[in-house]
């Protein structure tokens, strides 16, 4: 999962058009370079579009917004098919965008 921080979002928004274009091109290259291992990927809509359902109470509670109050949000994800965690870490290390990458096995 690609995790965007408030700082990263501000820096991206402050970039000029050419800088933003270069940043997006770097992400495109990353996906192209790893296409043989990526089985699925998507970019999520902005956090303000989220709806959360909390199921830890007697009745479900539905609220607008992300699942928790925080300064980091999952902005997208890619499913990759790799042999082991070391290979996943190698791919993640080359991610050119959001400053945090969370790796989880799929079940």
Q: Which tens digit of pLDDT belongs to each residue from 82-97?
A: 999 999 999 999 999 9
> What burial letters (b/e) apply to 62-81, b meaning 16+ CB within 10 Å?
eeeebeeeeebbbbbbbebe
Can you give the pTM of this predicted structure?
Answer: 0.77
Q: Which residues pair with 2 in a beta bridge?
A: 76, 101
Phi, psi (5° rounding) for residue 102? -105, 135
Q: Are 41 and 91 in contact (CB under 8 A)?
A: no
Q: Distances from the Cα of 107 to the Cαs of 79, 96, 104, in angstroms?
A: 12, 27, 9
Give residue 46's pLDDT band: very low, low, confident or very high (50, 70, 90): confident
Domains, the chain, in order of start with CATH, read 2-101 (3.30.70.1060)
């Amino acid at each position: 999962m690609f995790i965007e921080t408030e700082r990263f979002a501000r820096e991206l928004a402050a970039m000029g058009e050419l800088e933003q274009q270069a940043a997006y091109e770097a992400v495109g290259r990353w996906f192209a370079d790893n296409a043989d291992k990526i089985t699925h990927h998507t970019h999520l809509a902005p956090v303000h579009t989220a709806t959360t359902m909390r199921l830890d109470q007697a009745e479900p509670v539905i609220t607008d917004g992300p699942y928790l109050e925080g300064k980091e949000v999952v902005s997208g994800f890619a499913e990759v098919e790799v042999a082991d965690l070391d290979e996943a870490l190698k791919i993640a290390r080359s991610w050119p965008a959001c400053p945090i990458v969370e790796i989880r096995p799929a079940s």
